[in-house]
Amino acid sequence: MAVVEPLRVFFIPLMSPGHMIPMVDMAKLFSRHGASATIVTTPGNEPLVRPSVAGSSVDLLLLPFPPSAAELLPGGRENLTFMPKSDHARFFDAFFALRPSLEALLRARRPDCIVTDTMYAWTADAAAALGIPRLVFHGHGTFPQCVHESLHLRGTHKKKKSEEESFLVEGIPDRVELRKSEVSSIFQWEAALDFWKEAEEKSFGVVVNSFYALEPEYAELYRRKPGRRAWCVGPVSLANCKGSTSIRSRGGNNNHPEVERCLEWLDSVGTAGSVVYVCFGSLNEFEPEQLDEIASGLEESGYGFVWVVRNSGWAAEEGFEERVKGRGVIIRGWAPQTLILGHPAVGGFVTHCGWNSTLEGVAAGVPMVTWPVEYEQFVNEKLICQVLGVGVGVERGEAGAVVRKEAVAKAVAEAMGGGREGERRREMAREYAAMAAAAVEEGGSSYMDTAGLIQELLEFRAQAQSARP
Ligand code: UDP
């Protein structure tokens, strides 16, 4: 029998943790399914990615920014982690200048398939010209995708005058209401959305970091669009990342002693499920006033906590750290989120509802306190609280208002305790975690989707090869 050459797949992630982390995990997942997986990124990102793929057979290909683009990079930094929002536009100018060298790389190496971020929409044409199938990675689940497609198609939110006015999202299975202010700012880029949509239509399909049982009606609805093919292969965090040597634990800085102390402290906590983990993702930075309220709210809640604080300049009010000593830990910088969430002492997650955090919370089986800040996070909150029933929304008032300590303490208490309702929420969270684990096991829905996708790509390659003169 002829030996089938492994499928050669290039993964090209956007250089932001929320996009890079799942794509690196996905490369490892494909590799475990027998594909030859390569991550294409820039030299500045090597220190983040290299340790993540150590011990796996995933390769790394480094493509430097051309000198003209390198000059645009804010402070020479090649990743959005810890980059102030005001620098993002310059970062993206540099990022788009990578196109010619990426195209040249694809022409020279001719992988059997590329998996690229939505924002690399131009790769659809480049891949088509070379006869290479392109898979799109949006970085979200099918629920936010369906909601966004409804808004993009119908423009319901545009008919609302006031930012606080709510409306019903049309054409989806659940009765989901959103306020106009909760619609992702990405909708301000109408032209980009159209461009991304067209690029998806030209692509082989979509790989989704989610699992069928999490959002079955939305997976169906999403796949029902004529011409679209989508494979749910997640949670990729579960399929791959159990170790501590990945981008997940290292992030953009080196705060290991602090992290070690936190993990040791968690080990010393006697009561399972008594600590709440608080983290607002890799990009969000709160103002000092908001951080003060969070500090007081956590103190008032009476629960143990691990709180990840991004603002290096913020210091807690005098006496705070002394008062919460032995009960709370602050990590300044980067936390090994999946390790912390998976620790038996942790029983709740205050989250900004980024998609990866949402799915990692689900996979850890802990109830969540939802505190969305921007982008599609408000939509993910609806999934967590309303559709899945595993979350408690923090009372936020009007868009942009400071969330008060009472609201923080109340939501934490509800999620961590909450009487019978709280017990029901914890039970649901445990059930979804079991479903997530089953999905990625051999024979599970995500396992089968990954295997099926690789098989189809192998067949595509075989057909293309036999059609060649
Ligand atoms: N993350 C982490 N440590 C941190 C902050 C974030 O490991 O201190 C990881 C988190 O586990 C997740 C990703 O970074 O995988 C953040 O992605 P998400 O979609 O939740 O939010 P974003 O950062 O894109 O807003």
Q: Is the CB of 251 under 6 A from ligand 1?
A: yes
Confidence at residue 469, expressed as pLDDT on a 0 to 100 scale: 81
The model's pTM: 0.96
**What sign does the dihedral 53-6-110-132 (CA atoms) show?**
negative
246, 256, 282: residue to mutate for ligand 1 pocket, most atoms within 8 A of CB: 282
Q: Is the CB of 357 under 6 A from ligand 1?
A: yes
Confidence at residue 258, expressed as pLDDT on a 0 to 100 scale: 86
Amino acid at 46: E
- The whole-angstrom separation of Cα 341 and Cα 157 is 35
Nearest CA to ligand 1 atom 13: 18
Q: Is the CB of 360 under 6 A from ligand 1?
A: yes
Q: Is the CB of 368 under 6 A from ligand 1?
A: no
Cα-to-centroid distance, 224 and ligand 1 (Å): 30
Q: Is the CB of 276 under 6 A from ligand 1?
A: no
Residues of the chain falling short of pLDDT 70:
1, 240-255
Q: Is the CB of 176 under 6 A from ligand 1?
A: no
Q: Is the CB of 13 under 6 A from ligand 1?
A: no
Cα-to-centroid distance, 281 and ligand 1 (Å): 4
Cα-to-centroid distance, 191 and ligand 1 (Å): 28
Q: Is the CB of 347 under 6 A from ligand 1?
A: no
Nearest CA to ligand 1 atom 3: 335
Cα-to-centroid distance, 357 and ligand 1 (Å): 6
pLDDT in tens, 101-118: 999 999 999 999 999 999
Cα-to-centroid distance, 416 and ligand 1 (Å): 22
Cα-to-centroid distance, 282 and ligand 1 (Å): 5
Number of the ligand 1 atom closest to the C-alpha atom of 355: 19
Backbone angles phi, psi at 349, to 5 degrees: -140, 115
Number of the ligand 1 atom closest to the C-alpha atom of 248: 7
210, 249, 259, 337: residue to mutate for ligand 1 pocket, most atoms within 8 A of CB: 337
Nearest to 34, CA basis, from 463, 322, 457: 457
Q: Is the CB of 213 under 6 A from ligand 1?
A: no
Q: Token match 């090869």: residue? A: 465
Beta strand pairing status for 134-137 and 205-208? parallel
Nearest CA to ligand 1 atom 15: 356
Cα-to-centroid distance, 332 and ligand 1 (Å): 14
Confidence at residue 248, expressed as pLDDT on a 0 to 100 scale: 47
Q: Is the CB of 354 under 6 A from ligand 1?
A: yes
**What sign does the dihedral 139-93-58-7 (CA atoms) show?**
positive
Beta strand pairing status for 134-137 and 166-168? unpaired
pLDDT in tens, 350-386: 999 999 999 999 999 999 999 999 999 999 999 999 9
Locate 328 and state its tokens: 């709370």
Residue 423: which H helix or E strand, with range?
helix 419-440
Number of the ligand 1 atom closest to the C-alpha atom of 360: 11
Q: What is the ipTM of this complex?
A: 1.00
Residues with catalytic function = 19, 117
Non-local CB neighbours of 367 within 8 Å, separated by 6+ positions: 347, 348, 349, 390, 391, 392, 415, 416, 422, 425, 426, 429
- Measured CA to CA in angstroms, residue 408 lies from 318, 357, 402 at distances of 20, 19, 11
Number of the ligand 1 atom closest to the C-alpha atom of 336: 7
Q: Is the CB of 304 under 6 A from ligand 1?
A: no
Q: Is the CB of 279 under 6 A from ligand 1?
A: yes
Radius of gyration, alpha carbons of the chain: 22
DSSP lists the bridge partners of residue 332 as 309
Number of the ligand 1 atom closest to the C-alpha atom of 333: 8
Cα-to-centroid distance, 227 and ligand 1 (Å): 32
Cα-to-centroid distance, 102 and ligand 1 (Å): 26
Number of the ligand 1 atom closest to the C-alpha atom of 375: 25
Number of the ligand 1 atom closest to the C-alpha atom of 337: 7
Neighbour order of strands in the sheet with 134-137: 59-62, 36-41, 8-12, 113-117, 134-137, 205-208, 230-232
